[in-house]
């Protein structure tokens, strides 16, 4: 069906090694998300799987068949590009029908599948328009429609939502998750938005400079990040890191504590500092605390009703049971 295995895959552009040897397995039906900072090789990895780039060494297996040398069209994968890559001179109908037409499918069957895909994606009213006459979200759905009609073994998405506005992004995020639940097909999704990663993934793959830092479910990564990089990347706002004598108290080089794991109080607590900027989101408030003597800034999440003013001195209590400890190399200490 759609089990994808990368075995010691590497990729170099000229002398630059973008992906050092990398092993990864994505199970059939899984929603895997690649996250990482810009330029870490997420798109490259996806394109290697798609077959749009050749691997420099190593093997890619799809359903335990060696697919390393198989051309993209024969791998049975469908890709949704960041720019959507719709064919501008074809109507929406023709765009969606294109892969079926290339597969020389029977015209009646093509019509049936295109209309089925269009009704799933709410595109029925737009079938005769050109891509240029659609909104960003509609184009996105056409791109998805074009990929689902082929019934591929797996879907590859390269930052499909990055061109959309915030509200639409939330909506499309739900739609894609919904689609995954219904089709139960393997999906690999690239993003650098950790909220997308947390909300959509069965399995998150955190990448840095082509190296996999950690693989796991969203909650695993949130609860037990393997190192400082993952700890800082997963979770919003980012984790506070404290070094020096305070960390030494916990037998660690660095301790990390998430903003939501610090309690605030006007009167008591082991740490104290001065309130800087407060961000009121309604449900929550984020306080940026200075002059704690621990780190430059400590971010704290409190309930929406908590109101401190700029310049107030307040006290903080970290919850020690959910504190993360790291050694000098940045690795987690259990």
Partner 1 sequence: MATKASRSAARLMMAPAVVLLLGWMLVPLTMTIYFSFKKYLPLRGGDLGWVGFDNYARFLSSSSFWPSVQATLLIVGGVLAITVVFGVLLAMLLDQPMWGQGVVRILVIAPFFVMPTVSALVWKNMFMDPVNGLFAHLWKAVGAEPIAWLTEASLPSIIMIVSWQWLPFATLILLTAIQSLDSEQLEAAEMDGAPPLKRFGYIILPHLGRAITVVVLIQTIFLLSIFAEIFVTTQGSFGTKTLTYLIFQRVLESQNVGLGSAGGVYAIILANIVAIFLMRIVGKNLDA
DSSP sequence for 267-285: S--SEEEEEEEEEE-SSEE
**Does 99 interact with partner 1 (rule: CB under 8 A)?**
yes
**Does 38 interact with ligand ATP (rule: CB under 6 A)?**
yes
Question: Closest separation between CB of residue 43 and Mg ion, Å?
Answer: 3
Q: Side-chain half-sphere of 94: how many Cα atoms within 13 Å? A: 9
Whichever of 53 and 246 has its CB closer to ligand ATP, that residue is 53
**Does 163 interact with Mg ion (rule: CB under 5 A)?**
no
The CA distances from residue 89 to 113, 122, 226, in Å, are 21, 21, 49
**Does 54 interact with partner 1 (rule: CB under 8 A)?**
no
The CA distances from residue 307 to 96, 231, 252, 259, 304, in Å, are 53, 28, 33, 16, 8
**Does 259 interact with ligand ATP (rule: CB under 6 A)?**
no
Q: Which stretch binds Mg ion (CB under 5 A): 43-51, 198-206, 249-257, 288-296?
A: 43-51
Closest chain position to Mg ion (CB): 43
SS3 content of the chain, % helix, strand, coil (to 5): 30, 30, 35
Binding-site member from 10, 43, 68, 208 for Mg ion (CB under 5 A): 43
40 makes contact, choosing from ligand ATP, Mg ion, partner 1, none, with CB < 5 to 8 Å by partner type, with ligand ATP
Among positions 55-84, residues that touch partner 1 (CB under 8 A) are 71-73, 77-79, 81-83
**Does 169 interact with ligand ATP (rule: CB under 6 A)?**
no
Neighbours of 149 (CB within 10 A): 22
Write phi, then psi, for 173 (nearest 5 degrees). Answer: -55, -45
Six-digit token string for 200: 């959509």
| Footprint of Mg ion (CB under 5 A) | 43
| Footprint of ligand ATP (CB under 6 A) | 13, 18, 36, 38-44, 192
């Amino acid at each position: 069906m759609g089990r994808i295995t990368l075995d010691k895959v590497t990729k170099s552009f000229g002398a630059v090694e973008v992906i050092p040897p990398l092993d990864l397995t994505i199970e059939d039906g899984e929603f895997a998300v690649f996250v990482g900072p810009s330029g870490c090789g997420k798109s490259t990895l996806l394109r290697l799987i798609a077959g749009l780039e050749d691997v420099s060494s190593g093997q890619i297996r799809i359903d335990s068949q060696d697919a390393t040398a198989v051309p993209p069209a024969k791998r049975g994968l469908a890709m949704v590009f960041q720019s959507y890559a719709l064919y501008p001179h074809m109507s929406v109908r023709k765009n969606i029908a294109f892969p079926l037409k290339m597969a020389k499918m029977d015209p009646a069957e093509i019509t049936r599948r295109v209309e089925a895909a269009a009704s799933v994606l709410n595109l029925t009213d737009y079938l005769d328009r050109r891509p240029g006459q659609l909104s960003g979200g509609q184009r996105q759905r056409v791109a998805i429609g074009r990929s689902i009609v082929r019934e591929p073994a797996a879907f590859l998405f390269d930052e499909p939502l990055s061109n959309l506005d915030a509200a639409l992004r939330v909506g499309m995020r739900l739609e894609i998750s919904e689609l995954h639940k219904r089709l139960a097909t393997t999906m690999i999704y690239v993003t650098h938005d950790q909220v997308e990663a947390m909300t959509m993934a069965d399995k998150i793959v955190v990448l840095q400079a082509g190296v996999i830092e950690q693989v796991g479910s969203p909650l695993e990564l949130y609860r037990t990040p393997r190192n400082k990089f993952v700890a800082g990347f997963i979770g919003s706002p980012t984790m506070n890191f404290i070094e020096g004598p305070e960390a030494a108290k916990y037998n660690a080089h660095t301790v990390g504590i998430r903003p939501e794991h610090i309690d605030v109080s006007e009167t008591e607590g082991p740490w104290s500092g001065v309130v800087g900027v407060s961000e009121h989101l309604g449900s929550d408030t984020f306080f940026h605390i200075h002059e704690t003597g621990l780190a430059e800034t400590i971010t704290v999440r409190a309930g929406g009703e908590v109101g401190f003013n700029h310049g107030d001195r307040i006290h903080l209590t970290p919850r020690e049971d959910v504190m993360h400890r790291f050694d000098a190399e940045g690795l987690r200490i259990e």
